[in-house]
Chain A
Amino acid sequence: MDLYDKLTILSDAAKYDAACTSSGATSSSKGTGIGSSIDCGICHTFSADGRCVSLLKVLMTNSCIYDCKYCVNRRSNDVKRAAFTPEELAELTMEFYRRNYIEGLFLSSGILKNPDYTCERMIETLRILRYHYRFYGYIHAKAIPGADPILIQKLGILADRMSVNIELPSEQSLSLLAPDKTKTAVLAPMAQIRKGIVENQSDLVRYRNAPRFAPAGQSTQMIIGATPETDYQILNLSSALYQKYKLKRVFFSAYMPVSDNPLLPAPNVKPPLLREHRLYQADWLLRYYHFEAKELLDEENPFFNPYIDPKCTWALRHMDFFPVEVNEAPYETLLRVPGIGVRSAKRILSARKLHSLDYDTLKKIGVVLKRAQFFITCKGKLREGLIVTPLAAFRALSGDDPAFRTMGTKGEQLSLFDAMASSNESEMKLCLFKPTSPTVTTEPTTGF
Chain B
Amino acid sequence: MARAAIPGRLAWRVARLAEARQETETARTLVFDVPDWPGQTAGQHIDLRLTADDGYTAQRSYSLSAPDRVELTVQRIADGEVSPYLTDVIGLGDPVELRGPVGGWFVWRPGTERPVLLIAGGSGIAPLMAMIRARRRSGDGTPFTLLYSVRTPSDVYFADELRRPDHGLTVALVYTREAPDGWPRPPGRLAPADLAHLGLAGDCFVCGPTGFVEAAADLLVARGHDPRRIRTERFG
Do A and B bind? no
A residues at B contact (CB < 8 Å): none
| B interface residues (Cβ-Cβ under 8 A, vs A) | none
